């Protein structure tokens, strides 16, 4: 039975558009992440899942510990629903959520929030003071500090000599202003002198390693240089922080694409991963990723504009990032179908084309990583009939679930359970 046939059988009678996660593939991917982390605990990145049932599935498996949330409001909700040890990966200026944190003993014990600027410290202490002054729970929480983690810039900075001048090239994401041990030490000293907070962790997200497919020799060189840089800098940064605040509880690093190199550093106490559980389209180009696709969405064919085109209802689920072919969904089944380059995935309808010139389409598919169809295959597609279902994969992991209220969990050709997404639980955290 093909993948498309299995998914068709498991969801027969269910209306589309619909989202499906193959639990066998999801759990196999979880095991593969654990192998790659080599004994270092994995913190699950919730932004890449956005389904509470699947978060708890991962957390219940050996090798996983804690959640990396993307919003403080989300962290408060997760902790309120029984999930422990939540690290918020991005700074928050949500005064309401910060005030809620400040007066909740459980939240203060279980949530660690991200900072990288003294302005964050000033905001947190101001909101905390006001919340304690206005709350009857102040007596229970006044002695409990807000747990902080310092986001350290893990990008690669190279000095390039041009004539008599020296320029610094930044390779990686633009996140924290804290890059050097000296900058980290100064921040730690300020945090240590700030009442009501406690710096307990440091995070290093090397996006230029974890978030870039191995598409060229240049990319692989940047990754190699970045790993070498972090192997020496990460330890010195941690030492500079600990000189002011004592031993850190959390030294977080990595992502799905860099588990091996991050976990190999003895200073790292945990790694983070989420996308590897679903293996979205953008992760097809990773050499070391031992994963199989587990997340899909289905669209129904509603018309035939020509004998060579089928139009499906819905499907405009474009991934964030620079606009490009790589941000569009991938057609999984039936094989040999692809998006139209001038239309792409549509807001309300998605036109698809069947291959008519196998040799030419195969060459184009190879040039564009298969995004015009089935990975450069020369297969001639059989056009799906009106009422047939087409299966696709999103380019990124969790973003598609902002478009679905529920996810159907399947094993083989059987539907196991239907569970709500964050959206289905009435939650939208941005």
Per-residue pLDDT tens digits for 219-230: 677 777 777 888
Local structure of 24: helix, strand or coil: helix
Quick check: 358 pLDDT over 50? no
- The answer to whether 49 touches 399, Cβ cutoff 8 Å, is no
Q: What is the pTM of this model?
A: 0.87
Same fold: 23-278 with 295-424 = no
Domain ranges of the chain: 23-278, 295-424
Local structure of 384: helix, strand or coil: coil
Look at residue 247 in the predicted model and tell me its pLDDT: 98
- List the one residue out of 242, 169, 260, 170 whose CA is nearest residue 202: 242
Q: Look at 130-134, 226-230, 308-312, 396-400 and tell me which has the smallest mean pLDDT.
A: 226-230
| Mean local confidence (pLDDT), 272-276 | 95
Cα of 28 vs its chain's centroid, Å = 18
pLDDT-derived band at 270 (thresholds 50, 70, 90) equals very high
**95 compared with 139, residue with greater pLDDT:** 95
Q: What percent of the chain has pLDDT over 70?
A: 87
**138 compared with 346, residue with greater pLDDT:** 346
Q: What percent of the chain has pLDDT over 90?
A: 70
Architecture field, domain 295-424: Beta Barrel (2.40)
Domain 23-278 has CATH 3.20.20.10: yes
Q: Which residues contact 235 (CB under 8 A, 6 or more apart)?
A: 265, 267
| Mean local confidence (pLDDT), 295-322 | 94
| Mean local confidence (pLDDT), 144-151 | 97
Strand partners, 390: 299
| Mean local confidence (pLDDT), 57-61 | 97
Look at residue 373 in the predicted model and tell me its pLDDT: 39
Per-residue pLDDT reduced to its tens digit, 30-45:
999 999 999 999 999 9
The Cα 406–Cα 404 span in angstroms is 6
Look at residue 283 in the predicted model and tell me its pLDDT: 87
Site of tokens 């000296």: 182
| Mean local confidence (pLDDT), 420-429 | 97
Quick check: 64 pLDDT over 80? yes
**215 compared with 345, residue with greater pLDDT:** 345
**121 compared with 264, residue with greater pLDDT:** 121
pLDDT-derived band at 374 (thresholds 50, 70, 90) equals very low
């Amino acid at each position: 039975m093909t993948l498309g046939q299995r998914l068709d059988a498991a969801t027969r009678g269910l209306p589309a558009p619909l989202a499906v996660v193959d639990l066998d593939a999801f759990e196999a991917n979880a095991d593969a992440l654990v192998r790659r982390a080599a004994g270092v605990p994995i913190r699950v990145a919730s932004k890449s899942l956005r389904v509470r049932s699947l978060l708890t599935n991962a957390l219940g498996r050996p090798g996983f510990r804690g959640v990396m949330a993307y919003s403080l409001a989300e962290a408060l909700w997760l902790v309120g629903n029984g999930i422990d040890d939540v690290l918020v990966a991005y700074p928050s200026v949500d005064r309401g959520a910060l005030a809620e944190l400040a007066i909740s003993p459980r939240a203060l014990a279980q949530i660690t929030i991200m900072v990288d600027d003294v302005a964050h410290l000033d905001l947190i202490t101001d909101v905390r003071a006001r919340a304690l002054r206005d709350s009857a729970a102040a007596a229970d929480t006044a002695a409990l500090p807000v747990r902080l983690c310092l986001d350290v810039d893990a990008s690669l900075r190279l000095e390039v000599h041009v004539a008599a001048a020296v320029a610094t090239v930044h390779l990686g994401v633009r996140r924290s202003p804290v890059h050097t041990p000296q900058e980290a030490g100064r921040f730690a000293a300020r945090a240590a002198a700030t009442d009501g907070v406690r710096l307990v962790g440091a995070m290093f997200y090397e996006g230029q390693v974890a978030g870039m497919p191995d598409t060229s020799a240049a990319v692989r060189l940047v990754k190699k240089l970045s790993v070498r840089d972090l192997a020496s800098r990460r330890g010195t940064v941690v030492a500079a922080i600990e000189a002011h605040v004592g031993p850190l509880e959390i030294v977080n690093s990595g992502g799905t694409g860099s588990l091996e190199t991050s976990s190999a550093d003895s200073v790292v106490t945990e790694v983070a991963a989420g996308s590897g559980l679903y293996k979205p389209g953008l992760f097809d180009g990773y050499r070391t990723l031992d994963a199989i696709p587990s997340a899909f969405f289905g669209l129904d064919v509603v018309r035939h504009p020509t004998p060579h085109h089928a139009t499906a209802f819905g499907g405009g689920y474009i991934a964030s990032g620079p606009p490009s072919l790589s941000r569009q969904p991938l057609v999984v089944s039936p094989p040999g179908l692809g998006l139209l380059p001038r239309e792409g995935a549509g807001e309300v309808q998605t036109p698809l084309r069947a291959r008519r010139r196998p040799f030419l389409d195969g060459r184009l598919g190879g040039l564009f990583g298969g995004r015009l169809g089935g990975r450069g295959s020369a297969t001639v597609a059989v056009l799906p009939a009106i009422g047939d279902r087409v299966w696709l994969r999103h380019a990124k992991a969790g973003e598609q679930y902002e478009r679905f209220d529920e996810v159907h969990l399947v094993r083989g050709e059987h539907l196991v359970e239907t569970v709500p997404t964050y959206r289905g639980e009435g939650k939208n955290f941005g």
